[in-house]
A and B are shown apart, each in its own frame.
Chain A
Amino acid sequence: MNTLLRFSILIIPIVGILFFYNLLTEDKFYPGANFKNFNVPNFKLQSLDSASSFKKEDLQNELLLNVWASWCITCRIEHDFLMKLNSEGVRVTGLNYKDESIDAINWLNSYGNPYNFNLHDLKGSLALDMGVTGAPETFLIKDGVVLVHYSGEVNQAIWDSVFIPIIQENKMFK
């Protein structure tokens, strides 16, 4: 059999490998991250302390919306990093998800509160509309538009590679 023809068998895996390499190293590819923009859906939710109610229009222009719950172990791990972001001037708003408000308030009191305020989504209705499948998940929002939706724990590495490029591109949190 012709040598060249024989070696052409190798083309299939090599093309496959190169394709996947390109896919994995693409700027916009990051497992768990979704960069498709969409508008924040309309909602009406109580704040966690039930003192006031919030609508879509009450959200700040630039914020990080973090979905969390007191029953979520990963949120506890993520918590330290959110505290750090808060101290660096990033506005983090909490979306407390399928949680009893008393448990959530106790959690914040004992570990510290990284959020400027908290929405209480007991039934998970806003979370459902935003495509949340569990906690923690984080949304980067500018002028009512979601720029990044990240599922899973945000830490320094994820922050630097997923969020920072979009934040710089849109000149946010200045």
Chain B
Amino acid sequence: MIVEISHFFSILSAGLFFLAFIFSTRTYQGNHNLELLVNRIFSYGFYFIFISFLLYVWLAIQSDFSIRYIAEHSNKDLPTFYKISSIWSAHEGSMFLWILFLAGWSQLFNYLLSKNDLLKAPAIGVLAFIIFGFLIFLLFTSNPFETILPIAPINGADINPVLQDPALVIHPPFLYLGYVGFVIAFAYNTAFLIKGDMQINWEDVIRPWSLAAWVLLTIGISLGSWWAYYELGWGGYWFWDPVENVALMPWLAGTALIHSLYVSSKSKVLRGWTILLSISVFSLSLFGAFIVRSGIIDSVHAFANDPQRGLYLLAFSAVLITTSLIFYVYRLPQLISKNLVVAKSKESFLSINNILFAAAIFAVMLGVMYPLIFDYLYDKRISVGPPYYNTIFAPLTFLAAIFLVFSVGSLWQRTSKLLNFKSFLSMSILFAAAASICISYIYQDFQWWFVGALFSGLLILIRYFLLIVDSMIKKSYFNKPSAIAHIGFGVLILATALNASLSYEKIINIKPGEIYKDSDYEFYLIDFDLINEPNYDSVRAKFSVKNIYTPNKTFFMFPEKRKYFIRGQITSESAIKITPYKDIYMTLGDQLDNGYWVVNIQYNYLIRWIWIAAAIMGIGGFAALMERLKRK
């Protein structure tokens, strides 16, 4: 019964969003009462989808297995926490959450934007159309409300055990919030292009929304990376998997957008480029949804199924993207500023980085598309792996870092004197070069990417260090959020490079009672425990580990292998010893016939600092958002 009510509220919500869209097209003449009506209908559309989702959460908590989706993805023995998160563990439910967030962002925008804003009605119309289109997709091709009466099972099928993890409970919501958050920039700019009134200051309206979406997307991607590291047992933090790539593209475009928006709002140049970026970010989010949900690629993330889904998503995205681009192309001559970007001004460096970001997005897109094109043309499966991405990303990142540093002390709309010998820039370059040569020498690693990463990472850190010290002495202003986020970027470059250069692994055969000695550590395998849990059996090794240099500080590590009953899945639970400088990462392999066990020991240097860096970038973005909100 409750499921029918929930279903009904979703249908009602789709109807209301459709009405809001239709009415909004009639507000072109500036009928204020009609505009207020559109806003009102839109709010009710959101309330109904929200109630529908709450009821669905309730059904999941109650373990109502007469609902096919819940029966297939949940289980009555799960803690409530995972019963709720099972909703976004597969296609239908995660689409439902995606739409809820889409409607949530849009409603917040509807609520906060002044009703005198000239673009409010058309922007709300665009949003209503997008939400309506996705609700139709949900209700007709991916219905989570489908029931399987009268054969409702007594218990459900459980969620995949690797997904039963706190990080995975919050990773998809953050990611979706980030993805769909860029819809505001898309909708508002599409409305701007339709209206064509060039006096409107769209930059200031969409900046906080884009920043907020960027922060959430950054958090979402980092959580996914962190989860993959400790749960999948491979010990890596990024795999260049197609689905990671389709999440990375909106992030790259979003990063370019928040910078380009800054330029456009400061000096009214690059407006055409900024609008193109705002269209691209959401288009890339749609592309991601399409790739993941159409079954085109095989991946741990992909939700394979029915071809209608892919066709619908393709058609709907095509309508949104091409309509918006046609208006864009039509208005482009008016958008191009008569003022040219001054050479060696702040805008010029940000423009160069815009180009570098576009190149990076193109490179990732090529990596995703190439296997598909190849398979289509030659019927052969190939994969594009990390060597391709690393080779392209490393130089782009170094160049972007260098131009970022150039932009730090430069001026808006004026040529800046850069390479004056006494300038902070020259000092930073000298220090960074000297330090990176020393560090390369210490680690005896002179590969181009390692030296390049050290130089560009240190350059950022030193330049900001000098900026902060200088501002503190002179008590002058500096852009704190930007400094925080960019320091995070510098740390990210350094941590990634040092991790790649220093990390190594050992694969050993060991049996209880034996000791394995490494250069710094001694691993003593004490014994194995057999553990019987309600939903799995496990074998757990007990290692006592000590550092050779501090032999009285012993610690234990428990790598484990689990076999889950319901799906028969075997998972490996790595044991991780965290130190500030490195992780010791241990996974239990197979047992050999002679009683020995295969154990994999990895030393992952500075891997924590990769996520810390991402967190610092997120904090920087959040601080920028707060500053903007305070100024309003």
In the bound assembly, the distance between CA atoms of A91 and B329 in angstroms comes to 59
Checking B294, B305, B321 against A24 with a beta-carbon cut-off of 8 angstroms, the contacting residue is B294
Please give, as numbers and ranges, the residues of chain B lying within 8 Å of A74 by CB-CB distance: 72, 157
B 286-316 to A, binary, CB cutoff 8 A, 1 in contact else 0: 0000100011100000001111011100100
A9 with B325: CB separation less than 8 A: yes
Can you list 7 A-B contacts (CB < 8 A)? A1-B336, A9-B329, A13-B325, A29-B307, A32-B295, A32-B304, A71-B157
Contacts of A7 in B (CB 8 A): 329
| Cβ contacts under 8 Å, A134 to chain B | 567
B329 touching A24 by the CB < 8 A rule?
no
Q: Please name all residues of chain A whose beta carbon is closer than 8 Å to the beta carbon of B329 when the two chains form the complex.
A: 6-7, 9-10
In contact, B318 and A77 (Cβ under 8 angstroms): no
In whole angstroms, what is the CA distance A134 to B151 when docked? 21
Binding site for B on A (CB under 8 A): 1, 6-7, 9-10, 13-14, 17, 19-26, 29-32, 69, 71-74, 76-77, 97-98, 124, 134, 151-152, 157
Q: A31-B305, A71-B567 are in contact. Are A13 and B294 (CB under 8 A)?
A: no
Interchain CA distance A74-B148 in the complex, whole Å: 10
Bound CA span A72–B158, Å = 9
Quick one: given A10-B325, A20-B314, A23-B372, are A73 and B72 in contact (CB under 8 Å)? yes
Contact A76 B310 (CB under 8 A): no
**A73 adjacent to B376 (CB under 8 Å):** no
Instruction: Give which listed residue, B314, B325, B373, contacts A21 with CB less than 8 A.
Output: B314
CB distance from B190 to the nearest CB of A (A): 14
By size class, the interface of chain B is 35 or more
A-B Cβ contacts below 8 A, count: 89
Contact B373–A73 (Cβ < 8 Å): no
- Residue B156 is within 8 A (CB to CB) of chain A in the complex: yes
Smallest CB-CB A-B distances: 8 pairs: A31-B295, A98-B568, A73-B157, A31-B304, A32-B304, A17-B318, A24-B310, A6-B329
Segment 351-403 of B: residues with Cβ below 8 Å from A: 372-373, 376
Complex Cα spacing A9 to B321, Å: 12
The complex places the Cα of A97 from the Cα of B566 at a distance, in Å, of 11
Contact of A14 (CB < 8 Å), options: B71, B322, B332: B322
Min CB gap B278→A, angstroms: 15
Which of chain A's residues has its CB closest to B287's CB?
A16
Residue pair A73, B314 in contact (C-beta under 8 Å)? no
Given contacts A10-B325, A17-B318, A76-B153, contact A31 B307 (CB under 8 A): yes
- Which of A10, A13, A26, A32 is B283 in contact with, Cβ under 8 Å? A13
Does chain A have a CB within 8 A of B507?
no
Q: How far is the CA of A151 from the CA of B306 in the complex (A)?
A: 11
Q: Which residue in A14, A30, A97 is a CB contact (below 8 Å) of B568?
A: A97
Minimum Cβ distance to chain B for residue A69 (Å): 8
Q: Report if B333 contacts A (CB, 8 A).
A: yes
Nearest-CB residue, chain A, relative to B326: A10
Residues of B within 8 A of A98 (CB): 567-568
Residue in A14, A76, A157 with the greatest tally of chain B CB atoms within 10 Å = A76
Instruction: State the Cβ distance, A138 to closest chain B Cβ, in Å.
Output: 14
Q: 8 Å CB contacts to A: which residues of B145-194?
A: 148, 151, 153, 156-157
- What is the bound-complex CA distance between A157 and B309, given in angstroms? 14
How far apart are B356's CB and chain A's nearest CB, in angstroms? 19
Min CB distance B617 to A, Å, is 29
* Residues of the A chain whose Cβ atoms lie less than 8 Å from the Cβ of B307: 24-25, 29-31
With A23-B376, A71-B157, A74-B72 as contacts: A32 and B305 at CB distance below 8 Å = yes
Contacting pair B567 A22 (CB below 8 A) = no
B72 touches A1 (CB 8 A): no
Known contacts A1-B333, A23-B376, A74-B157; is-contact A13 B304 (Cβ 8 Å): no
Quick one: given A10-B322, A77-B68, are A124 and B332 in contact (CB under 8 Å)? no
Instruction: Please state if A24 and B314 are interface contacts (CB–CB under 8 Å).
Output: yes
Q: How many Å lie between the Cα of A112 and that of B127 in the bound state?
A: 50
Residues of B within 8 Å of A22, CB to CB, are 376
Nearest residue in A to B71 (C-beta to C-beta)?
A73
Chain A minimum-CB-distance residue to B379? A28
* Residues on B with beta carbons closer than 8 Å to the beta carbon of A21: 311, 314
Q: Which residues of chain B are near A26, meaning CB under 8 Å?
A: 376
Q: A10-B325, A20-B290 are in contact. Are A31 and B568 (CB under 8 A)?
A: no
Instruction: Write out the residue numbers on chain B whose beta carbons fall within 8 Å of the beta carbon of A151.
Output: 304
Known: A21-B314, A31-B294, A31-B310. A124 touches B568 (CB 8 A): yes
